[in-house]
Amino acid sequence: MTFSTFRNTLFLVLSLSFSFAVFAGEASENPKKEKFDAKEMIMHHVKDAHEFHIIDINGKPVSISLPIILWTDNGLVTFMSSAFHHDDSGHHIVEKNGMKFVKYHENIYQLTDGAHAIEFDADHHPINAKKPWNFSITRNVFMMWVSAIVLILLFVTAARSYNKSEGNVPKGIAGFVEPLVVFVRDEIARPMIGEHKYKKYMPYLLTIFFFIWINNIFGLIPILNGANLSGNIAFTMVLALFTFIITTVSGNANYWKHIFWMPGVPVAMKLFLMPIELIGIFTKPISLMIRLFANITAGHIIILALMSLIFIFETVLIAPVSVAFSLFITVIEIVVTAIQAYIFTILSALYFGMATEEEHH
């Protein structure tokens, strides 16, 4: 580490420490403030939301609104998330087309006639509201579109640069993209799938590698305030589902024979192995889904938990420690963004290789 890097890192740690110490001091000096709930704060930042909350100025939130799109019994209803005035308690009512809507813990409910606030029973089920079909553009959906646009622009620009270069020598953005494409081809696709069959799987492998990686990077940008697409299990489930479908469709006779009637073992053992192998068909994509979701979410939770220590202990002394450890975890998270994209891609390629492997004689 150079002196310049050390100096800048130290300055950043001290600056962040001072900022969080000021917040902690204000919290301790004002006994009327509610007790800090670390769990609520962490879950609020980790889960998806209907707007981008940037900062609070004089107690007023500054947010970027996103469209709310609902399908009710009376038809389509649309409005901007700013209509809820950043109120997630379920008390602020938005009236549209003669219907009343409230937002409670990022879930939107339609109130029954005469209701002025959402009410729940002992099992926390709403008794005077129901959920309409929600097709809203949440911040995760918005960032998914942004990442797709960024990738399209990235690869179109890289492809066009070859036409302008002499001898197809990569320059500019192509010089960054080409080594990564070659890495996926030579270190993932070829070894896992085979020399003669890897090409038809390359578009999918490149898509998931870059798509997961860029979304992991976006999840680390503070101004996006938790727009962490890879930390949404619905997103990882869809990616794992695509891998499952491609694996199942690509399976040859040798693949299915090893699942339903394992060659080279006694019949009694075949009957024992068949249900295990059959279950394995579904556990592989499930493990893909959970691994990516859990690793990305865990990193964000750890960072937020370390920052929460400042407000839990309400002391200036803990601020430098919390910020220093948070910076350390953030550096690890930067590495994890690429590692998790690599793991998801190489396991998908491994499953494709297992499904297309020919019988050995």
- 231/198 Cα distance (integer angstroms): 29
pTM: 0.81
- The set of residues, in sequence order, having a beta carbon less than 8 Å from that of 114 and lying 6+ positions away, is none
pLDDT in tens, 184-234: 999 999 999 988 899 999 999 999 999 999 999 888 877 665 577 888 899
Average pLDDT for the chain: 82
- 351/229 Cα distance (integer angstroms): 24
Q: pLDDT-derived band of residue 27, with 50, 70 and 90 as boundaries?
A: very low
Q: Which amino acid is at 48?
A: D
Answer whether residue 25 shows pLDDT above 70: no
Report CA dihedral (116, 122, 127, 132) to the nearest 10 degrees: 100
- Can you give the pLDDT at residue 186? 93
String of DSSP letters for 111-159: EPTT-SS--B-TTS-BSSEEPPEE----HHHHHHHHHHHHHHHHHHHHH
Q: pLDDT-derived band of residue 8, with 50, 70 and 90 as boundaries?
A: very low
- Can you give the pLDDT at residue 199? 92
- The set of residues, in sequence order, having a beta carbon less than 8 Å from that of 110 and lying 6+ positions away, is 70, 72, 99, 100, 101, 129, 130, 131, 132
- 110/95 Cα distance (integer angstroms): 10
pLDDT in tens, 338-354: 999 999 999 999 999 99
Q: In this structure, what token pair is assigned to residue 309?
A: 């220590």
pLDDT in tens, 236-281: 999 999 999 999 999 888 888 888 887 877 888 878 888 888 998 9
- 149/206 Cα distance (integer angstroms): 15
